[in-house]
Amino acid sequence: MNNKVELEYNTQQELLIFSEYGRNVQKMVAHICTIKNRDERNKAAQAVVQVMGTLNPHLRDIVEFKHKLWDHLFIISDFKLDVDSPYPIPSRAKLESKPEKVDYPATKIRYKHYGKYVEGIIQEAINVEEGEKKTYLVELVANLMKRQYLNWNRDTVNDELIFQHLTELSKGKLKVKENFTLRHSSEFVMRNNNVNKISSMSATGDGSKNKKRNNKHRNNNNRNFRNNNNRNKN
């Protein structure tokens, strides 16, 4: 009497196309391909699609999830299944086609610490008609450039350097008035430090800790105040 049990190992079986459906679904799809009667084949395919949807209920949240299940059915069959699908049957060529290459922006940024948007603002400012509005806009751009410079480079910068960069980026078309001075570097540095401090507190949760510490201190003061009042009354 031979009691030897033959075991099946995944390494000895066909590769799973979609592991989320399991090997049994893949075997059922392979069996459907062997059914000769088309009507029975269609019924079996619809039944398997129902099973696939039951095994993955999260797919119901996807738009046209039925369409997705039918596409997976044909992919599992290696595009050999010949049944009537309520949706266009996918093709191997479309599935294996590579996406179109997305070209990286080739625009060169003269000064990276100012960024592309500052250069864009400068180009827009060039097109503004001469007048008080343009003068005010140029002054705003210059202060913005100084802020960006201090944010990425150092703690201080000469205003003349900012004016030089403004002239260079605008190709000599934008200039500030004589005797115009930018905001002091300390204002930008302090503002940048405050923004970084708030960001770090939000990331580490220190803000909530400080709030709890302040509340605890306030409660202790209130308790001491009540105790002193009771002691004076006695």
pLDDT number for residue 36:
93
Q: One-letter amino acid identity for 110? A: R
Q: Has residue 104 been placed in a domain?
A: no
Q: Has residue 230 been placed in a domain?
A: no
pLDDT number for residue 216:
56
Bigger pLDDT: 160 or 61? 160
- DSSP-assigned states of every residue in 107-146: PPPS-TTTHHHHHHHHHHHHTSPSSHHHHHHHHHHHHHHH
Q: Which of 69, 86, 90 shows the shortest CA–CA distance to 25?
A: 69
pLDDT number for residue 58:
80
Over range 83-92, report the average pLDDT.
91
pLDDT number for residue 149:
87
Q: Has residue 31 been placed in a domain?
A: yes
Over range 74-94, report the average pLDDT.
91
Confidence class for position 227, pLDDT limits 50, 70, 90: low
Matching residue, tokens 């003061």: 221
| Rama region for 42: left / alpha / beta (φ>0; ψ in -120 to 50; rest) | alpha
Same domain, 123 and 58: no
pLDDT number for residue 44:
95
Terminus-to-terminus CA distance in the chain, angstroms? 100
Confidence class for position 193, pLDDT limits 50, 70, 90: low
Q: How many Cα atoms sit within 13 Å of 34 on the Cβ side?
A: 5
Same domain, 30 and 70: yes
Same domain, 178 and 139: yes
Rounded to whole angstroms, how far apart are CA atoms 145 and 159? 10
Confidence class for position 213, pLDDT limits 50, 70, 90: low
pTM of the model: 0.46
Bigger pLDDT: 209 or 148? 148
Same domain, 84 and 42: yes
Q: Has residue 37 been placed in a domain?
A: yes
Q: Has residue 127 been placed in a domain?
A: yes
Q: How many domains does the chain have?
A: 2
Matching residue, tokens 């196309």: 17
Rounded to whole angstroms, how far apart are CA atoms 83 and 43? 9
Q: Has residue 7 been placed in a domain?
A: no
Reported as a single tens digit per residue, the pLDDT across 161-182 is 899 999 999 988 888 888 888 8
Q: Has residue 208 been placed in a domain?
A: no
Query: What letter does residue 62 receive in the DSSP assignment?
Result: S
Give the domain range for residue 30: 12-94
User: How far is residue 153 CA from its own chain's centroid?
Assistant: 27
Same domain, 119 and 90: no
Same domain, 82 and 36: yes
Q: Has residue 72 been placed in a domain?
A: yes
Confidence class for position 28, pLDDT limits 50, 70, 90: very high
Residue partners of 169: CB distance under 8 A and separation at least 6: 110, 111, 114, 118, 119, 122
Confidence class for position 202, pLDDT limits 50, 70, 90: low
Q: Which two tokens stand for residue 139?
A: 């002054």
Same domain, 181 and 120: yes
User: Is-contact 124 89, C-beta < 8 A?
Assistant: no
Same domain, 78 and 132: no
Matching residue, tokens 């390494």: 11
Same domain, 36 and 86: yes
In terms of residues, how long is the chain? 234
Rounded to whole angstroms, how far apart are CA atoms 232 and 170? 75
Bigger pLDDT: 122 or 219? 122
pLDDT number for residue 56:
86
Same domain, 144 and 90: no
Of the listed ranges 92-106, 169-183, 187-201, the one predicted with least confidence: 187-201
Same domain, 69 and 18: yes
- Is 183 exposed, middle or buried, given 0-12, 13-18 or 19+ CB atoms closer than 10 A? middle
For the chain, what percent of residues have pLDDT higher than 90? 29
Q: Among 146, 165, 186, which residue terminates a domain?
A: 186
